[in-house]
Structure 1
């Protein structure tokens, strides 16, 4: 009879532990976001996302052009408005790409920076056992020096060539020299990425706390400009800036000096202004295109210049009004176009009522130098033979409806509907300085001359210096990353065999850590120097 011993079954193995799927998803997402490939993709997407900002008019730059785009594209404009096409740089999707790129660069740079600092602090790795397996290795040579002395000489030679070198004594009595060079390549890479972060920070904070505005400043004491939103032709404030934050200064253009080459190309532009800051005394300042005026942190840039005809209109009741109207250049020879509008004329003195159908406007071209061939363009940008060619319009100018529009052109809608009529005819009427044009209703227009005007761009960017430093560091980092090549070399000094023979046997090996075509020549030079130093 066989007795079977009953044994207890071994305990069942515990089920495999499942990891936290949410944590794994977050970890993998972070690794993907902080990879260099993702950073490059986001940088490309940021460049692509900025394209609509240059294709479509932006409300922060010119709200009037946005209104014109609505008129020209009534079906497309509302859809662009919904996706932020008219405010690209303030849209959520642009900000999302911007912030993702910022986070990606931080997650990419910080670990690499930590690893780079750690690599600079630790010693160079010891020499491998078999140099013949390295891409570069030398034949053995003999030195009359002791192994320790030979190793010390080689280490000193390497340090003179800016290698990090370390001498180690081995258990068998031999000495090894480990040397490495080319850390500037990784330093340049990190410097380039850190500079990109600096530029991103500068652009972001500059958008929040900066502001800018454009103004056409006409010469003359009666055409001054003070730094307030209402006096800008167009302006834009950052989200963290209010009108009360603008610095207090006023400008008056007292003189403008423009010289030209014989071909008409500009030679020099220089504006002289009278400046008043914070209610103080006026002082005279001069600035040019490449030398902006600095006022309380803001920069006043000179973008260009032009001419403002002085026109005096006397209505049918003998009431005269004088206006200085800037005409905007349309070509390099300062052929300029503009309009002078007189909405408050032809008021009946008996009733004091204004008839909107009797408003006047004069639109046309100003030629600083009339061409001899009679063409409608200027022959030279300086005022050698000036003339004004105008077309008179009478009727409702459409200024009372409250819709923003350009002051440098007439409302074509009013002309198309017949509310504003051409009373001149097919040919514009020419006027020289000092001439008077009498219209059919007895009113007169006199061309009294011109004044120069300067086109100014006034900007304040608190992080401009940071962006400049970032750009310089980025260029420096890029040069270092292209110029630096990381490589390692090793030397081994062994006692002569047999030991009684004295002397030292030396051998060298080298390993380029990057693609470095010049490494074989450099390695050969290092070996030759070592042979000469230890002979």
Structure 2
């Protein structure tokens, strides 16, 4: 048990880097950025597995040692407990007055009659009773305490197996889907995808999800309690098409995922996707799409980037803000004052040059300007700043074409997860909780009774002693209750 506790502590310590350093399976871009910003420590920590803590060999070693230790602890204790359940309570000690709880009483009746009444009293109190001779009774109860303890530890093993099963055969992926677009469950459609070691990413279940509508409700009344603008409801209306071609309307809301049969689809976020069109000088469309912008505050002040690699003579890039209810002032700059689209505005800065200078992966929501130069404003300003409302266009300097803010669409942030071990983990966790409650509530107690004739005819001297396995302040009351429970004993 000491070994198991030590390994449990070691497992908790080993998990600290997982919450301290960015994890590649969660945010690969942030992990790569951290390694780049720390050229000395980054590569070393990467080789040691600090950016994939839960898949590292040293974390798995602690995990497996804890697993083995728990089994080595539970198996012999289960064998002992099984023998105890089948064995008889021990004989009564010769001197019951030496036990922690003791009481003596003279009761009406012969020793045989009193002993039988006490036997029934003990059985009503859920004791297992055995008579080793004609003058004593041995009673014991509380086996559920050790049973609960063993169930708790066995359930922990079940939790470990469930987590390992889910890690090896489970996977999760995140994707942003604007309204009106369809997501197909293929690897190339995911924004991020984290498969388990035994998962083939090319063997995903074929189905599609079309986002028909994204309904979001905000608090519009100022009650003076700071709730103005707070979200009240998020619902995504979708059309789910299975592999056999059958379609059905499904709704996804917070804590009510869409069950596909091959994973659960959770609604984890939402935001706005301004529809932006970029044309070259000849009027040819080089970019036209609903571009998701990520919210930065409760009023959905959102940041994003538009990358146009097909522009001439150089690539074009736009970075800026989308403001659902826009306000621009000198103190706070561009920001939104309400999360709904009461006065949508798009604030952009434009750059030209090379979008992907070194070929490394980039976040679709940020613009790498290391190999780009800002476009200058028409008034000679060093930085071109564009403010657009829906339906407005702006002519780019240098005969580079136009950028148009066509309108606003919502998007839903979907997280698709498959965890084959979640049922085992849930059942094991519930069993662990039940076992823990049993081990804390149930008392392991032994009661011994000795009867003998009193000096007065028809009377019997009864001596009762009680013994608890652990500290039990109620043992004395238990002994007294055993003596007083039989009716008509005085």
Counterparts of 1:411-430 in structure 2, within 5 Å, are: 411-414=368-371, 419-424=372-377, 425-426=382-383, 428-430=385-387
Name the SS of the counterpart of 2:449 in structure 1.
strand
Residues 8-63 of structure 1, C-alpha deviations (whole Å, 9 max, x = no match): xxxxxxxxxxxxxxxxxxxxxxxxxxxx1110111111111111122222222232
Deviation sequence 1:115-167 (CA, Å, 0-9, x none): 112111111112111111011111231322x3222212112112212222223
- Backbone CA RMSD of aligned residues: 1.8
In the alignment, the residues of structure 2 paired with residue 464 and residue 533 of structure 1 have an alpha-carbon distance, to the nearest angstrom, of 57
Shift of 1:422: 4.1
* Structure 2 Cα separation of the partners of residues 124 and 462 of structure 1: 45
Of 151, 162, 165, 1:191 maps to 151
The aligned length equals 475
Measure the CA separation in 2 of the matches of 1:230 and 1:248.
13
CA distance in 2, matches of 1:460, 1:180: 48
Q: SS of the residue aligned with 1:140?
A: strand
Counterparts of 1:180-329 in structure 2, within 5 Å, are 180-220=140-180, 223-262=181-220, 263-320=228-285, 321-329=287-295
Shift of 1:388: 1.0
Runs of 5+ unmatched residues, structure 1: 1-35, 347-354
Determine the structure 1 residue equivalent to 2:103. 138
TM superposition shift of 1:426: 4.6
The counterpart of 1:512, out of the listed 450, 455, 468, is 468
The aligned counterpart of 1:351 is none
Whole-angstrom CA distance in 2 between matches of 1:297 and 1:166: 56
**Equivalent residue in structure 1 for 2:37, among 68, 72, 75:** 72
Contact map agreement 2:156 2:428 (CA 8 A) in 1: yes
Does structure 1 residue 333 correspond to structure 2 residue 293? no
Q: Check 1:235–1:533 CA distance in 2 against 1; reply closer, same or farther (3 A cut).
A: farther
Aligned counterparts of 1:413 and 1:310: Cα–Cα separation in 2 = 26
Match for residue 121 of structure 2?
157
In structure 2, what is the Cα distance between the partners aligned to 1:199 and 1:193?
A: 10
Per-residue Cα deviation, 1:47-94 (whole angstroms, up to 9, x for no partner): 111111222222222322222122211111111122111221121111
User: CA 1:503–1:517 in structure 2 vs 1: closer, same or farther (change >3 Å)?
Assistant: closer
Provide the C-alpha distance between the structure 1 equivalents of 2:26 and 2:101, rounded to a whole number of angstroms: 61
Q: Is the 8 A contact 1:330 1:336 kept in 2?
A: yes
**Structure 2 stretches of 5 or more lacking a match?**
221-227
Q: Cα distance, 1:242 vs. partner?
A: 0.4
Task: For residue 316 of structure 1, report the CA deviation from its aligned partner.
Answer: 1.7
Measured after TM superposition, the shift of residue 496 of structure 1 is 3.9
| TM-score (normalizing by structure 1) | 0.85
CA contact (8 A) 1:152 1:167 kept: no
2:317 paired with 1:364 = no
Preserved contact between residue 316 and residue 441 of structure 1 (Cα < 8 Å): no
Please state how far the C-alpha of 1:533 moved relative to its aligned partner. Answer: 4.5
Aligned with residue 388 of structure 2, among 431, 443, 457: 431
Task: Provide the rounded CA distance (Å) in 1 between the counterparts of 2:370 and 2:483.
Answer: 85
- Say yes or no: does 1:56 pair with 2:26: no
Do the aligned partners of residues 533 and 98 (structure 1) sit closer, same or farther apart at CA in structure 2, a change above 3 Å counting? farther
- The CA distance in 1 between the partners of 2:348 and 2:123, in whole Å, is 80
Distance in 1 between the 2:114 and 2:258 partners? 65
Aligned 8 A contact 1:489 1:511 in 2: yes
Show the counterpart of 2:224: none
Per the TM alignment, residue 519 of structure 1 is displaced from its structure 2 partner at its CA by 2.1
Q: Of the candidates 404, 411, 434, which is equivalent to residue 476 of structure 1?
A: 434
Q: Partners in 1 of 2:31 and 2:370 — Cα distance? A: 17
Q: Is the 8 A contact 2:349 2:386 kept in 1?
A: yes
Which residue pairs with 2:57 in the alignment?
A: 92
TM-score by length of 2: 0.93
Residue-by-residue CA offset, 1:462-483 (whole Å, 9 max, x unaligned):
1100000111111111111111
Partner Cα separation in structure 1 for residue 329 and residue 374 of structure 2:
30
**In the alignment, is the contact (CA less than 8 A) between 1:178 and 1:489 conserved in 2?**
yes
The answer to whether the 8 Å contact 1:364/1:428 transfers is no
